[in-house]
Structure 1
Amino acid sequence: MRSNRVLSPRTAALPAAFAALLALLTTACSGGAALGSEVAPQVTPPPAHAGFDYQLGGAYSPPDGVDVVVRDHTASPASGLYNICYVNAFQAQPDAEKEWDSDLLLRDDTGEVVMDEDWGEAMLDISTEAKRQRVAEKVNGWIDTCASKGFDAVEPDNYDSYTRAPQGLLGADDAKAFLALLAAHAHDEGLAIGQKNTTELATEREKVGLDFAVVEECGKYEECDVFTDAFGDGVLVIEYDAQGLQRACEGWGDDVSVVRRDVDLVPAGEAGHLRQTCDDV
């Protein structure tokens, strides 16, 4: 039977208070953040058209005018600069195959490990979701190291590895799906993430979750516009010969970062070191 009891003013206010709380929770959730969840760290891409140095062969004091430096994940970042952390994400380092589970090395129809012959690197098998997750777990560990050291961004190399694999073993969709895993993790760690080369997939940058591009020899091959079309001025260019440097500087040097380095990326002060910029053209 329905009660005729009259509520006190304090008791009558409870449903209204509950409704207000419910509305607050609904608003928070509709904004994309569940109650108690952490807000993703702010991600900052490299400054555009900045002085740039590529130091994968060994870290050294950046020259005057350099604001952006790329170093290997085993090195430390340069103090006071924007630092990008290099990881070999799609292939094993030379002679490092034993650091990977055997079934994560890409194999051909005869069971032989597929090698990138130019660099002596075994390709990693990212052909299934399960294997992509396992490879990503290891690479994400390196990304965690980059973040803990104070790097600002990460450069996963060999995105285009699938183009060098025997036909049918790997495809573009495999590469994109794997790099998307790394991009999500990097962003969770507060790191921007760059696309390395791979003109074929530049237009997919937003779907994959990429923030900038690191490009080798796009001046030499006259394809820098593929990356500027996709990434705007968020492009870092490395050339390895005089002609490439000149083309990159004349075509795109007013908008993006360009540097010429020796092929072996020898540290400053050692024989064979070379570094030039558009000021030297």
Structure 2
Amino acid sequence: MRRGGRASAALLTVLLLSVVAGCSGGGGTPAPDPSATAVWQPRPGLAWQWQLDGKVDPSADVPVYDIDGFENDAADVARLHRAGRKVICYVNVGAWEDYRPDRDAFPRAVLGKPNGWHGERWLDIREVSVLRPIMERRFDMCREKGFDAVEPDLVEGYGNETGFPLTARDQLVYNRMIARIARARGLAVGLKNDLPQIPQLVGDFDFAVNEQCAEYGECARLTPFIEAGKAVFHVEYDVPARGFCPESRRLGLSSMLKRPELGVWRDPC
């Protein structure tokens, strides 16, 4: 479970209104980035496996795998490709992790409060000149290992207690930068959670990854991705499959029940 805490509904409403009012062009879809290259476009309804706990187990018979970019190597990705799978590279872009090999690349000034996960601290995403080259190197790693896409995690720090006065505008700038970095490398990129900013960001991202929208009654907010012909990869942890699968099928989500450690086990819709 990677939400990193939830802002209150009132706060999210205020933040969304401020974004709509404050963004240039009324918060509409930005013009295409001319530096981007053609990327994989996952369509709604694709089944998937999400395994972030250790080396990938390729036993799930599904067309899409989302796995940890650091813990899996090019041979793991190639094995999945030989089986006809597309492979998404999980990378944390919103928090520092003390167990990653590039942990010393982050200046202490950009490290904020702990985010509730052992060894992790929020990042000051306003420091784009500091964070951009680090994230570029991480996405280079994904490309060099042969991944088809990236799942950038923790891209909604503005709604959490990070230790920094982050705004919705700061998050939009950072998230769009992350999307451009991915697409410039030929990698599709997914928007992780950050439901209030979907109307502003659906044009920048190629798919969505969501946790627990059914538990919190939020799944309908993901429809802009489905209407744009883009997959929504969705998991629940505490709601039984029978409690969310009917709505997931109606909305066109790619849904499954997972345990929070995100191991091999899955119960798909």
- TM-score after normalising by structure 2: 0.75
In the alignment, which residue of structure 2 is the partner of 1:150?
146
Matched, 1:173 2:164: no
- Uncovered stretches (5+) of structure 2, i.e. residues with no partner: 1-31
Q: Which residue is 2:58 aligned to?
A: 61
1:217 equivalent in alignment to 2:217: no
Moved over 4 A (4+): 94-99
- Partner of residue 86 from structure 1, selected from 86, 90, 103: 90
CA separation in 1, counterparts of 2:124 and 2:164?
Answer: 12
Q: 1:95 to 1:68 in 2, by over 3 A?
A: closer
1:94 and 1:102, CA in 2 relative to 1: closer, same or farther beyond 3 A? closer
1:201 maps to amino acid: Q
Secondary structure at the residue paired with 1:253?
helix
Structure 2 vs 1, CA of residues 205 and 62 (structure 1 numbering), >3 Å: closer, same or farther? farther
Q: Aligned partner of 2:213: which letter?
A: C
Say whether the 8 Å CA contact 2:39–2:187 is kept in structure 1.
yes
Q: How many residues align?
A: 224
Q: Aligned runs of 1:1-281 on 2, under 5 Å? A: 40-58=36-54, 59-64=56-61, 66-74=62-70, 75=72, 76-77=76-77, 78-79=80-81, 80-94=84-98, 98-106=104-112, 114-127=113-126, 131-165=127-161, 169-206=165-202, 209-232=204-227, 234-243=231-240, 245-254=241-250, 255-267=252-264, 274-278=265-269
Larger relative contact order (C-alpha < 8 A, sep ≥ 6)? Answer: 2
Could you list the runs of 5+ residues in structure 1 that have no partner in the other structure? 1-31, 107-113, 268-273
Distance (whole Å) between structure 2 residues aligned to residue 218 and residue 40 of structure 1: 30
Matches of 1:95 and 1:73, distance apart in 2: 13
User: Cα 1:246–1:137, aligned 2, differ >3 Å: closer, same or farther?
Assistant: farther
User: What is the CA–CA distance in structure 2 between the aligned matches of 1:40 and 1:162, rounded to whole Å?
Assistant: 26
* 2:11 aligned partner: none
- 1:8 aligns with none
Deviation at 1:120, TM superposition (A): 4.6
CA distance in 2, matches of 1:62, 1:246: 24
The whole-number CA distance in structure 1 between the counterparts of 2:94 and 2:116 is 14
Aligned to 1:19: none
Q: Which letter does structure 2 place at the counterpart of 1:251?
A: E
8 Å Cα contact 2:192-2:210 kept in structure 1: yes
State whether residues 56 and 71 of structure 1, in contact with CA within 8 Å, keep that contact through their aligned partners in structure 2. yes
Letter in 2 for 1:257: S
Matched-pair contact (CA < 8 Å) for 2:225–2:232:
no
RMSD between superposed Cα atoms in Å: 2.4
Contact kept? 1:220, 1:239, Cα under 8 Å:
yes
**CA 1:166–1:138: 2 relative to 1, 3 Å:** closer
Question: TM-score if structure 1 supplies the norm length?
Answer: 0.72
